[in-house]
Structure 1
């Protein structure tokens, strides 16, 4: 038996339980990973609460399809299936399991070989667990949706969370000029991450910046789609990767319509699992170009507090749960 955090019903963090569940057994193409740390994302709250309701069509209409939640993890290979060729027991690895049944909030998890990458050598497990989903979202949105180029000007709206802190660093690594929009308490942190300009979302007069940006990455917070469109230059690109339900549906349903009659592009983006991209991020981390930011670490027994903290506070970076020593 192994310890795991489980959820059998949608609701607040109070529905989460610590249970002893049967040991997981890896298939021939899987590895058994002892999870040292797992991090939480906003997506964990969607899967916990079952809101917005549309998410339930993918993850279970009446109750969660996946009993053990959690996607981001860092740990050590304990055993490998006979078809595995790239990893061996003792290897330190990390992964985003959102495409592979979740399950990172457990003592052990069976993971397909194609989901794993070697953990960055210069990170602890606590730091590495903060990387996968958020950094993949930021990298793919900037590279594949925004098509960010050196010298371009980008606004990152909602820059202080998990995706935002990676997006600021990756945009700078791409050679862009970055304007970060965040709360006043995080403005100094944005400067440390390399943002060229930092705006307080509570006091900024956005009309001063109409037509100023080649690209906008909207993550947290909310502005009407019409405002984002005015902030773009004539060939600008707006991409939504997070934020409120209203912002999500505006981007999905009205983005193309709002861009009619102009050369601007407005839409949303969803991360795709790609181990090669995770390996690319490992290289950037080991080269010192980007780093994960951990807001708070919670011990396993305080998992409900970890979810509550993520839900109620504007975390700077990631919230991590320490699963084992």
Structure 2
């Protein structure tokens, strides 16, 4: 696409004031413009919705990231004030085609099919806005779309797969030959983590939990043999089903750390992306905007949690996903090798604003879905 054919405005899923999915709208906003040599502009074909998107749109992260206007969540901000974080564009995951690039961006050509996860920053030039007609980011965060996936499938992967890979990479010595407990095996992060643990990292035994209706879906979505033990959490408590001191590693994306502590072997490892807050160090790794006081308070809270977990002779760490082109390249390779499948639960068209809101509300309440919700941008 020639630069001249890129419109000055685009449609974008956004909020004028921080609020829940019921406040989301599809608004006309300025199309991002390339101003640096290392940037690429991507025409979005499909984008996914994550719990993180909902939290960001509700203004939950202003204490950690100096989000302008975050303290005044009920005060509208003019759409022309583009230096403010409002209106807030929603979304991090996307798949699409390159339509423009800076003079120093040589990795991709116009027309190349790509995937990426936008960086977790707000109120800045980069970050959020995947559920839009166009998205701008640095070339280092972009990788080629896996050849064996369509755009909808590809858009479902970046954030959950990056979270999973960064959690598994935190385990000293890896999980090869070990017993790994990964609750919620058909959730976004859980579905990626169980496949990676077994197929890419060589875990000997993978245990997961799902509801009764989802048990038959495991093999279909993840392929047979990925999960060694499935626990129906609606009928039995995993903490009472799994023998104590039998699990080497817990990969926790749902806040199961406290209830699962007794299951871990002495010297075992818990890596969490939900439940206990991430450390200030994790936040600082994601954005340099983290206020000093917030960083120190979170480091203190995290240290207390580590001490408390350590009484069980178990190690503990947290992960706050960071967009990373190198990690995404590894993920792409595993997808093309058949080691990782996307799990798409629902696909919506961009014009279906009410359907998008409904799915956002469901995700916010943590109810009942399978895998990822993906919005087909190009179909509309």
TM-score by length of 2: 0.78
Distance in 2 separating the partners of 1:292 and 1:92: 17
How far residue 202 of structure 1 moved from its aligned partner, in angstroms, is 2.4
How far residue 68 of structure 1 moved from its aligned partner, in angstroms, is 1.2
Task: Show the counterpart of 1:218.
Answer: 252
Equivalent of 2:369 in 306, 309, 315: 315
1:100-146, Cα deviation, whole Å (9 max, x unpaired): 32111111122211111111011111010001010010011012246
Distance in 2 separating the partners of 1:154 and 1:251: 26
| CA RMSD across the alignment | 2.5
Note closer, same or farther for the CA distance 1:273–1:23 as it changes in structure 2 (3 Å cut). closer
How far residue 88 of structure 1 moved from its aligned partner, in angstroms, is 0.8
Alignment gaps of 5+ in structure 2: 1-8, 74-83, 121-125, 278-297
Distance in 2 separating the partners of 1:135 and 1:38: 15
Task: Show the counterpart of 2:215.
Answer: 187
Task: Show the counterpart of 1:232.
Answer: 264
Query: Counterparts in 2 of 1:240-251, with a 5 A limit?
Result: 240-242=272-274
Count of matched residue positions in the alignment of Structure 1 and Structure 2: 321
Task: Show the counterpart of 2:283.
Answer: none
Task: Show the counterpart of 1:296.
Answer: 346
How far residue 271 of structure 1 moved from its aligned partner, in angstroms, is 1.5
Distance in 1 separating the partners of 2:189 and 2:67: 22
How far residue 178 of structure 1 moved from its aligned partner, in angstroms, is 0.3
Preserved contact between residue 20 and residue 361 of structure 2 (Cα < 8 Å): no
How far residue 159 of structure 1 moved from its aligned partner, in angstroms, is 2.1
Distance in 1 separating the partners of 2:19 and 2:262: 38
Worse-superposed segment, 190-199 or 69-78? 190-199
Preserved contact between residue 98 and residue 112 of structure 2 (Cα < 8 Å): yes
Matched, 1:132 2:158: yes
How far residue 267 of structure 1 moved from its aligned partner, in angstroms, is 3.2
Preserved contact between residue 175 and residue 249 of structure 2 (Cα < 8 Å): no
Matched, 1:38 2:47: yes
How far residue 155 of structure 1 moved from its aligned partner, in angstroms, is 0.5
Distance in 2 separating the partners of 1:24 and 1:317: 30
Distance in 1 separating the partners of 2:31 and 2:60: 30
Preserved contact between residue 146 and residue 215 of structure 1 (Cα < 8 Å): no
Note closer, same or farther for the CA distance 1:81–1:311 as it changes in structure 2 (3 Å cut). same
Distance in 1 separating the partners of 2:349 and 2:368: 20
Equivalent of 2:335 in 236, 261, 285: 285
Matched, 1:207 2:240: yes
TM-score by length of 1: 0.90
Task: Show the counterpart of 1:171.
Answer: 197
Q: Please give the secondary structure, in 1, of the residue aligned with 2:165.
A: helix
